[in-house]
Structures are given as structure tokens and as C-alpha cells.
Structure 1
């Protein structure tokens, strides 16, 4: 006699299988849409290390602070003159977390040829995802606990 287990639902496929089958989508804004957010454009123009530090803190989910990431970005810029070698990896990580297309060009090309535009686009994307960039990862998590505004969570599993 075959008896099905009605108490325990079937186990969903592994998260890796879901993530690999999930097709990437478009960015919320274009690479050159800097005029849509003048404040982040000005911040990036005058202090790209702050913009990068804020992006890195959110993308790393608080494991590195804005200050440390921004200082490392500045150090790499001063020593090599090419901070894009570091920042392009965060673009790739951001795309992976939010299932974004690698467009209009590769991550390295976007950062090597238009560093400021790439940083602005990443900053705008995280804002569109619900983050308050000025308070960092931990500030956003505290805000979520209080229930005022919830940053996005990565959903793994099946959705309808």
C-alpha cells in the first residue's frame, strides 16, 4: 500500500537551481540617466568614494562599512589611478543579487569607460530597491525592524 505524507509538503528545489534558472531583468534606470537624480550625480562627481562606499556597504550587507570601502576605493585610485578595477566587481555582485542584465556593456567596460555613470546607476538602483543610502545597511535593517520602511529581501523559491 502506498501512503503519501500529507503533513509535510514537498521539498522545493535547491535555491541554486532557482537562481540559475531565473532570467535577469532590466535596470530601473539607464546608465546615462544621471539627470533623474541630481543629488547622487553631484555626490558622485565630487566624492565618488562616498558613493562607492555606500553602494559597497549595502551590497555587502553590512559586512564592510561605507568608510572602509570608500577609503579602499580612494587608496586604489591614488595608487593605481584606476579604481574601476575594484568597483566593477561590486556592480557584478549587485547585478547578481537583484537579477539585473549586464547592459549596456560588461561591468568592467561600464566602470572603466564611465565610472561616474556606473556608480550613479548602481546608487539609483539601490534606492529604487527601497534602501535609504544615507543610513547604510544597519540603519536600513533597524528601520525594517521598526516597520517604517522595509528594504527588499532576496526571495528564493517559487512565486506566482
Structure 2
């Protein structure tokens, strides 16, 4: 009987920083203008670009703004392996609400434009049985 050896490679993502600073709103004029002129539309676009429900920011109209924004920021940090904590997110959101949304928008836009795709092809090897003589 033939033995099949399988090697698995494990990739560990190291924690990184945000690609742009909290007050770097002018780094992306499109995001800055969208957030300034129609912030609710900008929030919906940012959430949609991240792959979440387009209506998620609309919950914030019911005094849940801190919860939704904190959850969104934590999800962005987790997906992109960005250092930080929920406590830090809450404090930042309370002080710089629009700036954190702009920062998340820039991060998501950057990550989507630099996303790499990997094609994986799997092959199944069937052990060959030879008749005994």
C-alpha cells in the first residue's frame, strides 16, 4: 500500500496598524467629501464595501450609535489584523466619531484595492492496490 504524505502550511497574520491616521481625512478627498456632505450615505457605503448589511448604520438613529460603530470598528480590526481593543475603540468613537468612520472607509478601500487572490487546486490521490503474488 502506498502512503500519502500531506504537508500543511499554517500562516499566522501579524497584527498591524491602521494604514492612515485618525485625523488623515484629507488623504482621500473622495471619502472626506462624501463623509462631510452626506455622512449617513457614507456610513452605508462603508458598511456595504465591508460586506455587511447596507442598513446597519440606520440602527444608529435609535441611540445605538456607539454599539454599531464599535462593532463595525472591531470587525474591521479583526478582519485586517489591526492592533487595538474595544476599550480604545469606544474612547476613540466618543471623541472623533466622523474621523473613525473616515479611517475605516480608507482602510476598507485600501484593502479591497490591494486584495490578492490565490487559486488553490486540490488533487485527491487514491492509493493503488497491487495484487499479491
Q: TM-score, normalised by structure 2?
A: 0.70
1:28 aligned residue (10, 14, 19): 19
d(CA) in 2 for partners of 1:52 and 1:123? Answer: 8
In the alignment, what sits opposite 2:115?
A: 152
Unaligned 5+ segments in structure 1 are: 132-150, 156-160
Trace 1:4-15 onto structure 2 (pairs within 5 A): 5=3, 7-12=4-9
| Residue 27 of structure 1, CA deviation | 1.1
Structure (1/2) with the larger helix percentage: 1
Unaligned 5+ segments in structure 2 are: 119-133
In the alignment, what sits opposite 2:47?
A: 56
d(CA) in 2 for partners of 1:153 and 1:56? Answer: 21
Change (3 A) 1:34 1:4: farther
CA deviation map 1:33-87 (0-9, x unaligned):
011112211211232222222222233x35x1x2x123223x23xxx2x623321
In the alignment, what sits opposite 1:70?
A: 57
1:125 aligned residue (103, 107, 132): 107
Q: Which runs of 4+ in 1 moved over 6 A?
A: none
SS in 1 for 2:112: coil
CA deviation map 1:129-151 (0-9, x unaligned):
125xxxxxxxxxxxxxxxxxxx7
Q: TM-score, normalised by structure 1?
A: 0.60
Between the two proteins, the alignment pairs up a number of residues equal to 117
How well do the aligned residues superpose, as a CA RMSD in angstroms?
Answer: 2.9
Change (3 A) 1:71 1:116: same
Are the counterparts in 2 of residues 97 and 154 from structure 1 also a CA contact under 8 Å?
A: no
Are the counterparts in 1 of residues 15 and 83 from structure 2 also a CA contact under 8 Å?
A: yes
| Residue 29 of structure 1, CA deviation | 0.6
In the alignment, what sits opposite 2:98?
A: 116
